Amino acid sequence: MKPLLLVDGYNVIGAWREAEKSEWTLDESRDRLIRLLEDYAGYSGEDIVLVFDGYQSDRRLRSEETRGCLTVVFTRHGETADSYIERRAAETPRYVPLRVATSDGLEQSQVLSTGAVRLTSRELLRELRQTRSEGFTQNEKNTGVQRRQLEGRLSGKVVEQLEKLRRGKE
């Protein structure tokens, strides 16, 4: 079995300085976190379960959507993300490497008792940034493509033609 990462979604969003600084709405923050974790799952090789709290919502049923190695869970009314994560951690066999990302102290204590490794929300965000940055750097090395320069993505012939146009020489 693949390693498993359980993520308390709203807890991570609450610790995400970029979201606060950029004044993203809750929906936008949620969508961005989902996209980041989808990318990260591809790099990390982990199955990731991102849990959003539906405790105070009108949701009668829990919803789960799987996107590759990422599963997005919205808990039902009356069910907290903490209780879902704690239950899922307790049900995970001990031989499966398990990490839980949350900054909630009580939840951290609960999941540590199941043998999980805890990760604060800020540690996870730092890991996401670092992995993404390293992934782009590695991709540039493997493909020879420069991320920020258009020239790095064009063939030599096209670059020559554009240079001639720029200089006014047809």
Is the pLDDT at 74 greater than 90? The verdict is yes
Coil, helix or strand for 69? coil
Taking residues 61-80, report their average pLDDT: 89
- Sorted by where each starts, the structural domains of the chain and their CATH numbers stand as 4-167 (3.40.50)
Is the pLDDT at 156 greater than 80? The verdict is no
Tell me the whole-structure pTM to 2 decimals. 0.74
Position with higher pLDDT, 51 vs 152: 51
Taking residues 137-161, report their average pLDDT: 57
Neighbours of 120 (CB within 10 A): 17
Average pLDDT over all residues of the chain: 82
Is the pLDDT at 149 greater than 60? The verdict is no
pLDDT in tens, 27-38: 999 999 999 999
At CB < 8 A and 24+ separation, what contacts does 86-90 make?
86/110, 86/111, 88/6, 88/49, 89/6, 89/114, 89/116, 90/114
Q: Is 39 exposed, middle or buried (0-12, 13-18, 19+ CB in 10 A)?
A: middle
pLDDT, residue 46, reads 92
